[in-house]
């Protein structure tokens, strides 16, 4: 299996504060990799580092292309879509306007075709096409954020805690849709989650992060079985 994304010795800092201390990790082509860890471990920062939002050192490869040091906009154009923590939805805009923003890199006609596909995945968004995003439920907002990211037709989807603040049934629904999208679109996913149980079920591989260092890497099955890791880092 080839890797779509590979990070080598990845470091990141906010000003003088060093947050990531040399991470090595990979996302396989067509696969799902989970990044787990407690609050403040550096999960969000890792996704920001991949997108060029924080200053980094080390190498990040997307396929054969070095993307570290590139501008966020260029990284997006190379096929990396980011669903940030807090979803990054434009609350005052409608569902439709948010989706159009997601498709901004693509010709209008193609984007409109893809809207149909998104409504097939997320029928709730279709019903609420003209609704102001800020008035959507939390689950609907998460769906909108994912749909918007997918309209870029990314090769790599970065998801920052899609389950955050949502009821278990909605979380299940979102992960069912993500599984379908992964299969249909062949998109590779790097999933950051506090909800380790659901992340390990969805991902084939996982990394456990502790204060900016990877303390365990392996198959989701192995990590899920490790009693010590479960108790220390995963909280279940």
Ligand X SMILES: Nc1ncnc2c1ncn2[C@@H]1O[C@H](COP(=O)(O)OP(=O)(O)OP(=O)(O)O)[C@@H](O)[C@H]1O
Q: Are strands 188-193 and 32-37 parallel, antiparallel or unpaired?
A: parallel
Cα-only R_g, the chain: 17
Q: Looking at the DSSP assignment, which residues form a beta bridge with residue 193?
A: 36
- Kindly state whether residue 17 participates in binding ligand X, applying the rule CB under 6 A: yes
Cα–Cα distances in Å, from 221 out to 140, 205, 207? 30, 8, 12
Which 111-140 residues touch ligand X, going by CB under 6 A?
A: none
Nearest to 178, CA basis, from 102, 81, 45, 94: 81
Distance of CA 154 to the CA centre of its chain: 11
Closer residue to Mg ion in complex, CB, 44/163: 44
40 binding ligand X? (CB under 6 A): yes
Comparison of 142 and 181: residue with beta carbon closer to ligand X: 142
What separation in angstroms does the CA of 202 have from each of 156, 193, 195, 230?
A: 16, 11, 11, 17
Q: Taking the complex as a whole, how short is the minimal distance between the CB of residue 76 and ligand X, in angstroms?
A: 20
2 part of the interface to ligand X, by CB under 6 A = no
Fill in the per-residue mask, 50 to 89: x = in contact with Mg ion (CB under 5 A), - = not in contact.
-----------------------------------x----
Asked if residue 195 binds Mg ion (CB under 5 A), the reply is no
Residue among 85 and 96 whose Cβ is closer to Mg ion: 85
Q: Is 106 exposed, middle or buried (0-12, 13-18, 19+ CB in 10 A)?
A: middle
Residue 45 binds Mg ion (CB under 5 A): no
When the beta carbons of 84 and 224 are compared against Mg ion, the nearer one is 84
CB of 82 to ligand X, least distance (A): 13
Alpha carbon distance 227, 168 (integer Å): 24
- Please tell me whether residue 86 binds ligand X under the rule CB under 6 A: no
Stretch in the footprint of ligand X (CB under 6 A) among 14-22, 67-75, 91-99, 126-134 = 14-22
Query: Which residues of the chain form contacts with Mg ion (CB under 5 A)?
Result: 43-44, 85
Query: Which residues of the chain form contacts with ligand X (CB under 6 A)?
Result: 14, 17, 19, 37, 39-45, 85, 194
């Amino acid at each position: 299996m080839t890797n779509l994304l590979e990070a080598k010795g990845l470091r990141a800092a906010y000003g003088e504060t060093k947050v990531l201390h040399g991470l090595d990790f990979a996302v396989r082509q067509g696969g799902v990799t989970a990044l787990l860890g407690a609050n403040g471990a550096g999960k969000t920062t890792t996704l920001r580092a991949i997108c060029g939002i924080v200053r980094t050192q080390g190498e990040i490869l997307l396929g054969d292309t070095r993307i570290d040091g590139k501008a966020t906009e260029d990284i997006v154009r190379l096929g990396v879509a980011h669903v940030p923590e807090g979803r990054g939805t434009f609350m005052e805009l409608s569902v439709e306007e948010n989706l159009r923003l997601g498709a901004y890199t693509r010709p209008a006609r193609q984007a409109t075709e893809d809207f149909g596909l998104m409504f097939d995945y997320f029928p709730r968004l279709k019903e609420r096409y003209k609704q102001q995003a800020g008035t959507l439920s939390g689950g609907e907002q998460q769906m909108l954020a994912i749909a918007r990211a997918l309209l870029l037709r990314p090769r790599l989807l970065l998801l920052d805690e899609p389950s955050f603040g949502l009821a278990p049934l909605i979380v299940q629904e979102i992960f069912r849709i993500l599984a379908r999208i992964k299969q249909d679109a062949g998109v590779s996913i790097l999933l950051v989650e506090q909800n380790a149980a659901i992340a390990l079920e969805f991902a084939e591989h996982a990394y456990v992060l502790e204060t900016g260092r990877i303390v365990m890497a392996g198959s989701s099955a192995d990590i899920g079985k490790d009693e010590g890791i479960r108790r220390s880092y995963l909280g279940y």
